[in-house]
Amino acid sequence: MNVRSFKNMSPRTPEQNKVLRQDSQTRIIASALKLFAEHGYSATSIKMIAQEANLAQGLLYNYFSGKEELLRAIFAQSMTDVRESFALAEGDTASNSTVAGVIRAALTLVARKRDFWRLSYGSRMQPALLTVLGDDLFAWTQEIRNTLERYFRTSGAAQPEIEAAILFALIDGVAQHYVLDPEHYPLAEVTETIVARYSM
C-alpha cells in the first residue's frame, strides 16, 4: 500500500497528512530537478513540472512560494546530499583523506548526481539565477576551494592557493565535460590518471 492510497480517505489523521505532504513535496522536487536538468530552468514551465509530478499546477504553490523557491529548495537539498556523501567518502578510510581521495570522491559524486550537476553548471553563469540562489552557491564553492587549499597547505605545497585553484578547476572541468556527454567521456581513465599524478 503506497502513499497515494491515503488520498481519498478522509478525514485524514495528522500523520497521514504529513506523509502526503512529504510525498508531494518529494515528487515535485524530483520532477523539477529532472526537467530543469533536461530543458534548463527557464525552458521548464510550472505546468510541465506539475504534469511530471502528477499533480495539479496550483498545488505546487502550497509547497513552494514560486518557481524560484523551488529552485532554491532543489539546491538546498542537493547540496546537503553532496556534503553528506562527501563526508561519508572521506570517513571511509584514513587513506582516503588525501588529495587523491578528494578527487575520486568528487568525480564519483558527479557521476551519481548528473542531473543536479547539469543544473548547477547551467545556472552558474546566469546572474538571474545566481540572484535567486543567493550566496549559497558561491559560499559552497569557496568552501570547496578552502578544503583543497588546506590539503595543499598541510602537505607543504609551495603555493597552496594556486594549487587549490588548479585542482579545483581541473575537477570542475572534468565534471562538466563528463556531464555534457556522459556516454562517451572516459571518466574512469581520466580520474585515475589525475589521481596518479596527484599521488606522487
* Geometric angle at alpha carbon 150, from 118 and 80, rounded to 5°: 35
Report the alpha-carbon distance of residue 13 to residue 64 in Å, rounded.
23
What is the footprint of a second copy within residues 99-138 (CB under 8 A)? 118-119, 121-122, 124-129
- Contact pattern for a second copy over residues 48 through 67, marking x by CB under 8 A: --------x-----------
Print the SS3 string covering 44-92. Answer: CCHHHHHHHHCCCHHHHHHHCCCHHHHHHHHHHHHHHHHHHHHHHHHHH
Residue ranges binding DNA (CB under 7 A) = 1, 5, 7-12, 16-17, 20-21, 23-24, 42-47, 55-59, 61-62, 65-68
Please pick, from the candidates 45, 162, 182, 199, the single residue that binds a second copy as defined by CB under 8 A: 162
Buried/exposed 161-183: b ≥16 CB within 10 Å, e otherwise = eebbeebbeebbebbeebbeeee
Binding of a second copy by 189 (CB under 8 A): yes
Beta strands in the chain (DSSP E): none
Indicate the residue among 20 and 109 with the shorter CB distance to DNA. Answer: 20
Q: Half-sphere exposure (CA, 13 Å, Cβ side) for 103?
A: 25
Which residues touch 100 (CB under 8 Å, ≥6 apart)?
A: 195, 198, 199
Q: Cα separation of 70 and 30, whole Å?
A: 11
Closest approach of DNA to the CB of residue 121, in Å: 20
Report d(CA 14, CA 128) in Å as an integer.
39
Distance of closest approach, residue 135 Cβ to a second copy, in angstroms: 13
Span of 23-31, 68-76, 94-102, 186-194 interacting with a second copy by CB under 8 A: 186-194
Q: Which of 111, 32, 45, 44 is nearest to 73 (CA)?
A: 32
Site size toward a second copy, by CB under 8 A: 40
- Is the Cβ of residue 15 or residue 183 nearer to DNA in the bound state? 15
Does 160 contact a second copy by CB under 8 A? Answer: no
129 binds, among a second copy, DNA, none (CB under 5 to 8 A by kind): a second copy
Q: Is 163 in the site for a second copy (CB under 8 A)?
A: yes
Using rule CB under 8 A, residue 171 touches a second copy = yes
State the cell numbers at 70: 523551488
Residues making contact with a second copy (CB under 8 A): 11, 38-40, 42-43, 56, 118-119, 121-122, 124-129, 159, 161-163, 165-166, 168-174, 176-177, 179-180, 185-186, 189-190, 193-194
